[in-house]
């Protein structure tokens, strides 16, 4: 690049692309100058934009440079974007985000604000180009391209604002997750409440029992061994709950499925699997949260006590 200054324009004159000397307030200079301003605003927009918009904005900058070259007569026959090409880009953006019916107040995002600024500058250039066409003859390709380009910049601004809103929501959600991470599985206090309910039901039944509550992985969340319970029941209660977390159904429902000739025959031989009643899964909506497992009485008694825990879980609106 040569010197930035030549002193040739100190008298208020400049030259068009074809060498013609004109005043600096000539209509062609003014039109090109507005597009130059718009291109600078697009540079600001691109520096602030999310990655998805960087290339579309750069392409719009290149379009403006092509229009400047045509208007300033640097390349009077140079290619400029067609209305159809610009419309296709606008429709592609419309498929990504809805266009409002009402007037848009700029400022929802830094990039969007800069794009709106560029849009208004292109509108100003379009008005100058209309006057230029009236004075020197119309270049309808330029007029149509300017009109569609301002529409394109409006669409890009809406896209930028949408990306900012989505990013803002995502950041807020991530912050909330860091501050209060959600838990799908049964928590300790929840498990203790269920143990208390099942312990009360076991007293009603009148048989000492082992009571287990697991989280969604099958790991124990809480456990109670009543006095007098058989040692084998201690393992069985946990295994019943564990089995539920693996098969997503109660152990009572599993029993007929593992009989000879049934669909799951052989599963009863899996380690820590129990295939008779007393284990019931717990759901949080449609997501498995854990399970309860009870052992110590008859199968019917175990199911009754486990059912009390499962019903208590449902009543709490889990």
State the CATH number of the domain containing residue 263: 3.30.450.150
Asked if the structure places residue 3 within a domain, the reply is: no
**Overall average pLDDT of the 199-217 stretch:** 95
pLDDT for residue 177: 58
Amino acid 49: pLDDT = 95
- Read off the pLDDT of each residue in 86-90 and give the average, rounded to a whole number: 96
Indicate whether 8 belongs to any domain.
no
Query: What does the pLDDT read at residue 139?
Result: 80
Comparison of pLDDT for 76 and 80, the residue scoring more: 80
Same domain? 164 vs 202? no
Give residues with Cβ within 8 angstroms of 140, minimum separation 6.
133
**Same domain, residue pair 244 and 171:** no
pLDDT of residue 207 exceeding 70:
yes
**Domain enclosing residue 289, as ranges:** 188-315
Is 52 a domain residue? yes
Asked whether residue 285 is domain-assigned, the answer is yes
* Same domain, residue pair 88 and 215: no
Give the whole-angstrom CA distance, residue 277 versus residue 251: 5
Phi-psi domain of 297 (left: phi exceeds 0; alpha: psi -120 through 50; beta: other): beta
Whether residues 88 and 113 share a domain: the answer is: yes
Nearest to 149 by CA among 3, 280, 42, 290: 42
Q: Is residue 6 part of a domain?
A: no
Number of domains comprising the chain? 2
120 and 41 belong to one structural domain:
yes
> 21-41 pLDDT, tens per residue?
888 889 999 999 999 999 999
pLDDT average, residue stretch 134-149? 89
Q: Quick one: 178 exposed, middle or buried, by C-beta within 10 A (0-12, 13-18, 19+)?
A: exposed
Residues 201, 173: one domain? no
Rounded CA-CA distance 97/110 in Å is 18
Which range, of 55-64, 124-133, 233-242, 258-267, averages the lowest pLDDT?
A: 258-267
Alpha-carbon distance of 76 to 79, in angstroms, equals 9
Torsion of CA 189, 179, 183, 164, to 10 degrees: 150
Q: Is the pLDDT of residue 48 over 70?
A: yes
Mean pLDDT of the chain: 89
């Amino acid at each position: 690049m040569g010197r930035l200054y030549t002193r040739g324009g100190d008298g208020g004159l400049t030259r068009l692309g074809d060498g013609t000397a004109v005043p600096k307030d000539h209509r062609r200079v003014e039109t090109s100058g507005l597009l130059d301003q718009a291109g600078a605003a697009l540079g600001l927009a691109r520096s602030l934009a999310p990655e998805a918009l960087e290339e579309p904005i750069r392409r719009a900058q290149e379009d403006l440079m092509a229009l400047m070259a045509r208007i300033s007569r640097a390349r009077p026959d140079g290619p400029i974007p067609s209305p159809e090409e610009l419309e296709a880009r606008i429709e592609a953006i419309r498929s990504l985000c809805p266009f409002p019916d009402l007037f848009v107040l700029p400022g929802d995002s830094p990039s969007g604000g800069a794009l709106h600024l560029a849009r208004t500058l292109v509108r100003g250039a379009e008005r100058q180009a209309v006057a230029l066409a009236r004075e020197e003859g119309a270049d309808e390709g330029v007029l149509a391209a300017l009109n569609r380009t301002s529409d394109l910049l409006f669409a890009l601004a809406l896209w930028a604002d949408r990306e900012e809103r989505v990013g803002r929501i995502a950041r807020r959600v991530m912050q909330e997750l860091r501050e209060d991470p959600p838990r799908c599985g049964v928590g300790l206090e929840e498990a203790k409440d269920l143990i208390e309910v099942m312990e009360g039901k076991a007293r009603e039944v009148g048989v000492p029992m082992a009571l287990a509550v697991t989280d969604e992985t099958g790991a124990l969340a809480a456990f109670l061994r009543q006095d007098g319970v058989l040692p084998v029941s201690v393992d069985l209660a946990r295994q019943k709950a564990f089995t539920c977390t693996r098969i997503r159904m109660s152990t009572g429902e599993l029993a007929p499925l593992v009989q000879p000739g049934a669909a799951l025959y052989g599963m009863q031989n899996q380690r820590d699997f129990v295939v008779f009643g007393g284990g019931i899964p717990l759901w949080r909506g449609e997501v498995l949260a854990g399970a309860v497992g009870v052992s110590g009485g008859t199968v019917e008694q175990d199911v009754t006590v486990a059912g009390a825990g499962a019903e208590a879980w449902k009543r709490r609106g889990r």
